[in-house]
Amino acid sequence: MTAPSMLASYINGKFIDSEHYFDNINPVDGSVISKISEANHQMIDEAVAAAKASKWAQLTVNERSILLNKVADVMREREQAFIDAEMADTGKSLFQVQTIDIPRGTANFRFFADLVKFSASESFITDTPQGTKALNYSVNKPLGVVAIISPWNLPLLLATWKIAPAMACGNSVIFKPSEETSSTAFLLAQVMDEVGIPKGAFNLVLGRGHAVGDAITSHKEIDAITFTGASATGQKIMASAAATVKPISFELGGKNSAVVFNDADIDKAVAGVARSTFTNCGQVCLCTEKVYVHRSLFSEFVNKLKQQAAAIKIGYPSDKDVFMGPLVSKVHQQKVLSYYQLAREEGAIVEHGGGVPKFGDARDSGCYIDPTILTGLDDHARINQEEIFGPVCHVSPFDDEAEVIKRVNDTPYGLAASLWTENLSRAHRVAPQIDVGLVWVNTWFLRDLRTPFGGTKLSGVGREGGQHSLAFYSEPSNICIHIDQ
């Protein structure tokens, strides 16, 4: 498994180093994977100036679509390099990068490259009672320079989810990936370069949040900001964007529930909740952290979920059948462990896990953590209110439908929920009452790129996906033509 060993920013069609470097650490064993050159303020200014001057917006929709499909083609040819780089940075399992992260990177480009060609703009014939007639139609223009700040949990997937529609709509982008996961971003810049994307259309600036992220979000020449990450960071970016009233689109944190009703197929529900809790070590904003199970099924459900957790293979990400690698970093491992400790202090019963697995080799210096199941706390325990972002859920019993809806909604977040029931009427009745942007019934993280994606409350602002993305990344301008009678 190899990843690029020296990572540089890509600005105005050139790879550029600064004299400041930091180490990119492998979460499997703490070794250094690569050196990352951190962009300085002058480089950020150059990137923004290049983005403004780029010819990208002048290309036709069809020309942009062809080039973005070429990006997808070359990413597909280089799939193994993307897989290796993503695994090295994140420690996520081969199975996951092969089936989720990297294919979605390519799919995001293809989807938006095609969608933008088939999108119509609005038009209305105005016919007033006084007999005045006019034709109104809107033209969708790019916003200009869009800053894209993406997180470490699904690095390529979440970056391309924004880069592809932003560029399809004719915007130039300034892309800052998380400092934990810059390798696939660097590979993507190489692809953009080779495919012949006009200079300045795609700029990659590498570095840490306080050094590079803040300089981007406060930059006066940036026209819009789109961000996926922690709610607290979203709050800071929003304050910074307010100064110039920039459009923003945020996908933020979650404290997502799964509800298992007494009419659920219990084995499907157990397998589904295990997947929604432990996938990517719980490091997906959509992962389940609170599980409500009808009291009649509670003990059976907890026992079966414990069996699933015990069967999870934890190890080297590239080993066959490994489902959980390490968490992304030591800092994050310490954060999740502090919540395991807090759960004990709050009086939780630790049904499974609660610590760090021991391997007796180099992995003991890595960022591994146990899949963990908790019970015994009420909904107002901090464990049941705060986003942990680790492979952990708390399971509580409930008695009736109205009660569980109220309890699921009793959180400052509103991203996702999953319902497990074989009763179709119940699914239709309950789903719209959950105050979240995404409800899955008898499944989880089943994605259709045309659907609105985003959250309510602390979980975000706006929706992306399909036409929602095109609406965010473009500015409609209405043209009204009077029709002489």
Measured from each CB, the residue nearest to ligand 6OD is 285
Q: Does 11 bind ligand 6OD (CB under 6 A)?
A: no
Query: Token digits for 394?
Result: 């708390």
Of 142, 177, 6, which is closest to residue 64 (Cα–Cα)? 142
Of 346 and 387, CB closest to ligand 6OD: 387
Q: Does 453 bind ligand 6OD (CB under 6 A)?
A: yes
Q: Does 286 bind ligand 6OD (CB under 6 A)?
A: yes
Q: Does 148 bind ligand 6OD (CB under 6 A)?
A: no
Of 92 and 363, CB closest to ligand 6OD: 92
> What is the total count of residues that contact ligand 6OD (CB under 6 A)?
10
Q: Label residues 149-176 b or e (16+ Cβ within 10 Å = b).
A: bbbbbbbbbbbbbbbbbbbbbbbbbbbb
Of 217 and 279, CB closest to ligand 6OD: 279
Q: Does 35 bind ligand 6OD (CB under 6 A)?
A: no
Q: Are 424 and 431 in contact (CB under 8 A)?
A: no
User: First CA to last CA across the chain, in angstroms?
Assistant: 72
Q: Are 252 and 149 in contact (CB under 8 A)?
A: no
Q: Does 447 bind ligand 6OD (CB under 6 A)?
A: yes
Of 224, 240, 190, which is closest to residue 14 (Cα–Cα)? 190
Q: Does 417 bind ligand 6OD (CB under 6 A)?
A: no
**Coil, helix or strand for 266?**
helix
Q: Which of 81, 147, 285, 336 binds ligand 6OD (CB under 6 A)?
A: 285
Whether 367 sits among the annotated catalytic residues: the reply is no
User: Taking the complex as a whole, how short is the minimal distance between the CB of residue 254 and ligand 6OD, in angstroms?
Assistant: 8
Backbone angles phi, psi at 14, to 5 degrees: -135, 145
Stretch that binds ligand 6OD, among 134-142, 154-162, 170-178, 325-333 (CB under 6 A): 154-162
Q: Does 52 bind ligand 6OD (CB under 6 A)?
A: no
Specify the residue for token string 């016919």: 127
Largest CA distance in the chain: 87
CA distance 53 to 319: 47
Of 206 and 284, CB closest to ligand 6OD: 284
Q: Does 161 bind ligand 6OD (CB under 6 A)?
A: yes
State the CB neighbour count (10 A cutoff) for residue 131: 7
Of 215 and 438, CB closest to ligand 6OD: 438
Residues pairing with 125 in the sheet: 135
Q: Does 327 bind ligand 6OD (CB under 6 A)?
A: no
Q: Label residues 271-303 b or e (16+ Cβ within 10 Å = b).
A: ebbbbbbbbbbbbbbbbbbbbbbbeebbeebbe
Q: Does 227 bind ligand 6OD (CB under 6 A)?
A: no
Choosing from 169, 285, 287, 393, which is the catalytic residue?
Answer: 285
User: Taking the complex as a whole, how short is the minimal distance between the CB of residue 189 and ligand 6OD, in angstroms?
Assistant: 21
Whether 345 sits among the annotated catalytic residues: the reply is no
Q: Does 252 bind ligand 6OD (CB under 6 A)?
A: no
CA distance 382 to 412: 12
Stretch that binds ligand 6OD, among 126-134, 282-290, 337-345, 359-367 (CB under 6 A): 282-290
CA distance 315 to 358: 10
Backbone angles phi, psi at 343, to 5 degrees: -55, -45
Of 161 and 420, CB closest to ligand 6OD: 161
Q: Does 153 bind ligand 6OD (CB under 6 A)?
A: yes
- Site residues, ligand 6OD (CB under 6 A): 153-154, 158, 161, 251, 284-286, 447, 453
Which residues carry out catalysis?
251, 285
